[in-house]
Structure 1
């Protein structure tokens, strides 16, 4: 096991407020929601045939939707079609989902050994990780950047609005943002750290009477000297999240509008790459080796491939037993993608085996699944043949209102997984 550096740091904070964005009814996500709503309405009215027709069309759009197979199973049971109901539940479980039978008692009538075995399998631990460092105190760790040689780790602490640099020798503050502002995205390129900042009530010093625009800030990793800061004067309510310093351009997700923006040539002006209407919550970003394709993970609707040459976009379907929802971070390893998936319980770290042109996910491999080792993991990066990531972010220390349950939570943990070439 890699030695864990135990760093004691004060911090307190959290995340930006999520806003509802308009979803184009003609988009994949918009059509899915319309069909699901139509099916639920039909099911409530007792029209199970119409409900199943709508659910089948919705599932063709999002095969890994957790709600559709459960609704379909209910409709099949009303039609006394137990084999079809069981098949819907098996599809649901084979994609890694859990089910509480005490809250879904209607399924007891068809529950059997096959379903129970799959449910139990979904909760077993898979894989392992090594500990890189543990960060004491209340921090809420979100963004991460890493330089393996010499070992230098950069983390964004949401609670106190700082970027921290950690090494085996200790910790130092690289930069402290203005009160109430924290970095929700972090990336490193040629000695320059790029941070996506946003004002948040979860960060010390927050004052709603003094609004602050979300920005992309570049600063020297060595001393924290600010090099540049870019915002979007056209939309002052943006909330920048995950970012990716690509080969030629920088990309950033805007969670307030469901958009992805591009800083072409690392210049001064942001342009909209993916407009509002297609995604609910874009998060993870990854670029292929020749910088011709960008992959975007929408937490609600899965993976989208953007052709950076043609300017087109397509959503990727999951494999028959795969689940591409709830992904918060993407990082490329060779031609594959390493993904942090905290939308499923237990949380998972995945390897997505991609086709050569990134137009298809050929296989979803679980590298790590563990209630013990993973607690609301956030972001990670590939460094050589290692994946370095926030394994325990301390987000689980917050209640439903975003208040800290304790000022002395278990340390935030940064983990490492060895990757096979």
Structure 2
């Protein structure tokens, strides 16, 4: 029994965000975590039947949770219920997950050619990209903004140097460099302004923990880097993350509290749109065409649909063929979402086919899966029929403590994928 618990916990990193928040026990994520904990307790007490009953309830909330699936399969194997274990593993692999059989020897006796074929397909390289820009220095590329009709300029935030770079066919220029230890974690273009969400970062040159810096939203003239305006939240200590320059409003993630904030009409006052308690690590933001709906991707619990007119929010279940966890970025393409999934290996770019009203994620299609072309891809955006994104961010060149492994690194890459309606 102890072996089961250890293996299950080891897999939880796949669905853990960078910032753990206070989660409301009554929320979907809160209920899932309570059930998972209760199931683990039942296992430790030797009550496998009760554990399976509880895990079924947890899986109904997060059907794409890899940890729950592997736990269930292991318990079934211990009960010699091979067919049930195989059914769980078939579903697990159908969702695009992978498995190291050397570390999961419990499953070797039931492993057959169908499971192996699906595993090999999930690991195989798929798709291609065109490289739009290569950044040879150690920059740690994070956020993007793009002007396809203005000399095809791609704006890239460099976490290491604390700057924003403009990449164009004619070369590279630095738009702005922030104060020491500060970098932009979100970028967006609206009405001729380059919007950036900034925060202090220990990975940024000049960082000094003894000198805290307030997180800000900054409006910048992209032509000369002049700061047009800045805003902060004087009441709450924020750490701004990903940003979406929407049709009428600006949206930004607060990593400190797991909240989504809105700057209505690109004005001067931030309001809480999604309060703390629902999500662990919100990251991706996408708005529908008329600006009435917002999709938020939480790294740990998947997609949430926010009705901006009704002021309501619902979490979307993953389709039977996909996994909606571990998404670092989402962007709208027609009714669909193009997503970067860097919480699982191999990293991949997905197309999530959505219903027209965004009440359902109907299916998941892999556009790109490659250990060679992708290395901790971070953020991306849709421009016409292309997905422009940071394919190699250089985050993977940091060790477990967040320190550079070496000063000489492989270039950061901005890639482009052709999309079809």
Q: Which aligned runs of 4 or more in structure 1 are off by greater than 4 angstroms?
A: none
The match for 1:3 is none
CA distance in 1: counterparts of 2:158 and 2:341, whole angstroms: 21
Aligned twin of 1:61: 61
Alignment of structure 1 residues 392-407 onto 2, 5 Å: 392-407=392-407
| Distance of 2:118 and 2:338 partners within structure 1 | 24
Correspondences of 1:91-240 after superposition (within 5 Å) = 91-149=91-149, 150-236=151-237, 238-240=238-240
Task: Report what 1:76 is aligned to.
Answer: 76
Q: How many matched pairs?
A: 404
Moved more, 173-182 or 111-120: 111-120
CA apart distance, 1:233: 1.1
The CA distance in 2 between the partners of 1:45 and 1:88, in whole Å, is 23
Please tell me whether residue 272 in structure 1 is matched to residue 272 in structure 2.
yes
Q: Would you say the 8 A contact 1:191–1:222 is kept in 2?
A: no
Q: Which residue number in structure 1 is paired with residue 365 of structure 2? A: 365
SS state at 2:196 partner = strand
Contact 2:303–2:315 at 8 Å: present in 1 too? yes
Structure 1 counterpart of 2:14: none
2-side partners of 1:152 and 1:248: how far apart? 23
For the residue of structure 1 that corresponds to 2:86, the secondary structure is helix
Secondary structure at the residue paired with 1:122? helix
* More displaced 10-residue stretch of structure 1: 343-352 or 303-312: 343-352
Q: CA deviation at 1:329?
A: 0.7
Asked if structure 2 preserves the Cα contact closer than 8 Å seen for 1:284 and 1:296, the reply is yes
How far is the alpha carbon of 1:18 from its aligned partner? 4.5
CA drift at 1:151: 1.1
Q: How far does the alpha carbon of each residue in 1:378-412 deviate from its partner, in whole angstroms, 9 at most, with x for none?
A: 01111111111000001111111111111111100
C-alpha contact 1:162 1:173 (8 A) present in aligned 2: yes
State the 1:344 CA deviation: 1.5
| C-alpha distance in structure 1 between counterparts of 2:18 and 2:216, whole Å | 17
CA distance in 2, matches of 1:107, 1:365: 27
Q: Confirm or deny: 8 A CA contact 1:18 1:256 kept in the other structure.
A: no
Deviation at 1:35, TM superposition (A): 0.4
CA-CA distance at 1:75 after TM superposition: 1.3
Distance 1:400 1:337 in 2: 31
Map of 1:246 onto structure 2? 246
For each residue in 1:116-137, what CA deviation from the matched residue of structure 2 results, as whole angstroms up to 9, or x when unmatched? Answer: 1111110111211111110001
The RMSD of aligned alpha carbons is 1.1
Structure 1 residue 19: Cα displacement: 4.1
**CA–CA distance in 1 between the matches of 2:255 and 2:57?**
28
What CA distance in whole angstroms lies between the structure 2 residues aligned with 1:117 and 1:20? 36
SS of residue in 2 equivalent to 1:109? coil
Q: What is the deviation of 1:20?
A: 2.8
Per-residue CA deviations over 1:25-47 (Å, capped at 9, x if unaligned) read 00000000000111111112210
Rounded Cα–Cα distance in structure 2 between residues aligned with 1:288 and 1:407 = 41
Deviates more, 1:109-118 or 1:195-204: 109-118
More helix per residue: 1 or 2? 2
Counterpart CA distance in 1 for 2:33 and 2:214 is 32
Gaps of 5+ in 2: 1-16
Where do 1:365-384 residues align within 5 Å? 365-384=365-384
**Whole-Å separation in 1 of the counterparts to 2:375 and 2:369:** 10
- Number of the residue aligned with 1:10: none
CA distance in 2 between counterparts of 1:40 and 1:195 reads 43
TM-score, with length taken from structure 2: 0.94
Instruction: Assess, with a 3 A threshold, how the Cα gap between structure 1 residues 212 and 18 changes in structure 2: closer, same or farther.
Output: farther
